[in-house]
Amino acid sequence: MSIRNLVDFGDMSRADWEAIYSRCCDIMDHPSDYIDACKGKVACNLFYEPSTRTNFSFQAAMLRLGGTVFGFADPSSSSTAKGEKLKDTVKMVSSYADVIVMRSAREGAAKAASLYSDVPVINAGDGGHMHPTQTMADLTTITRLRGSVDDLSIGLCGDLKYGRTVHSLVKALAKFRKIKFYLISPRELSIPEYLRAFMREHGMWNVEVTGLESVIPQLDALYMTRIQRERFADPREYERNKGVYILTRRKLDRAKKNLLVMHPLPRVDEIAMDVDDDPRAAYFQQARFGMFVRMALLSDLANQARFSPPPVEIGRGPVCRNPNCITREDLYLPPLTKMQGDTKCCAYCDKAIFSDEN
């Protein structure tokens, strides 16, 4: 594998992904061959935001590989509560651990950490931006249960504005062929503009709709998501949109017999409990696949040699207007930008530099 950090699924080539997937399958089929794959290695889990699956599955993955884990799931018990900057926490922790797994409410936080870390950094979710290891769980689920990801019609339903798992999945699926996207959301929770531009640039077929039932019969996979309450600046926006999509067994009557019903979890009310026993419900398997694919990733990244990254410029202010961008808080970060088509974007959170979209 040729990657050092996993910040965005776009950092990987399709060949990188296929190498991880094939190792993941080998781990699932021969787990005893991997019990020492990370022997003597230590992961640090820095979880600045709540998590059950991602934190636990990374811990379980490292333990099953013979490694160990330390870290926190509550930043109020760390020096962050005393005002320590991300750069210092990362510099220090990377001198103790062999790999850092990080979740933050700030968009671009993992990218920022990767600039200072002597060991690989894995993005376990950065605000409403990206969540590449959930995407690995999603792709593993589709490939293992359907044979391939190419040529599928995929419905993404719910909060497409703030749902980072959706954003990562869209980025990843640019690497596959003939995907059709049905983007199902209320208008005010539609996909961010930078991803619309990304899909245009990559010639990805997609249609945006507000109704779920009319498109269900077309789909090979239906990816339900929770309305991301914690990301709404205006609580009234959440109140207007909560409970907007509820998948029930009755609604599945018109779906394909081999549909995959997926969800990154946790669910609130968007999938009724009576769907759990339908053979098309794949979300609990999806969570288990997530652990195996994280094992495949850790077995590579935790075994890489440590080295100090080259020094970076000291910034003087935020890179973009996104109020949740890491550069709004950590003003010393270098002013990194990138082009998305013709638009100049923040290299941390992907938002257009001069845009008011947030």
Return residues touching ligand NCD (CB under 6 A): 53-54, 125, 131, 134, 164-165, 226, 264-266
Shortest approach of ligand NCD to residue 132 CB, angstroms?
11
CA angle 264, 269, 273 (to 5 degrees): 85
Nearer to ligand NCD, 243 or 266 (CB): 266
Taking residue 357's Cβ as centre, other Cβ atoms within 10 Å add up to 12
Shortest approach of ligand NCD to residue 311 CB, angstroms?
33
Q: Are strands 343-346 and 337-340 parallel, antiparallel or unpaired?
A: antiparallel
Nearer to ligand NCD, 226 or 328 (CB): 226
Nearer to ligand NCD, 131 or 144 (CB): 131
Shortest approach of ligand NCD to residue 128 CB, angstroms?
9
260, 141 Cβ separation under 8 angstroms: yes
Shortest approach of ligand NCD to residue 35 CB, angstroms?
26
Shortest approach of ligand NCD to residue 263 CB, angstroms?
8
**What is the spatial distance between Cα 288 and Cα 311, in angstroms, rounded to a whole number?**
39
Is residue 270 classed as helix, strand or coil in its secondary structure?
Answer: coil
For residue 255, the cross-strand partners are none
Shortest approach of ligand NCD to residue 104 CB, angstroms?
11
Nearer to ligand NCD, 293 or 333 (CB): 293
**What is the spatial distance between Cα 114 and Cα 168, in angstroms, rounded to a whole number?**
18
**What is the spatial distance between Cα 78 and Cα 81, in angstroms, rounded to a whole number?**
6
Nearer to ligand NCD, 270 or 318 (CB): 270
What the block records as the tokens of 206 is 């997609």
Nearer to ligand NCD, 115 or 221 (CB): 221
Q: Compute CA distances 3 → 6, 124, 291, 295, 300, whole Å.
A: 7, 16, 20, 16, 9
Is residue 140 classed as helix, strand or coil in its secondary structure?
Answer: helix
Chain centroid offset of residue 212 CA: 23
**What is the spatial distance between Cα 109 and Cα 126, in angstroms, rounded to a whole number?**
6
Shortest approach of ligand NCD to residue 154 CB, angstroms?
17
319 phi and psi angles, rounded to 5 deg: -85, -35
**What is the spatial distance between Cα 329 and Cα 127, in angstroms, rounded to a whole number?**
13
Nearer to ligand NCD, 89 or 135 (CB): 135
Shortest approach of ligand NCD to residue 256 CB, angstroms?
25
Nearer to ligand NCD, 155 or 264 (CB): 264
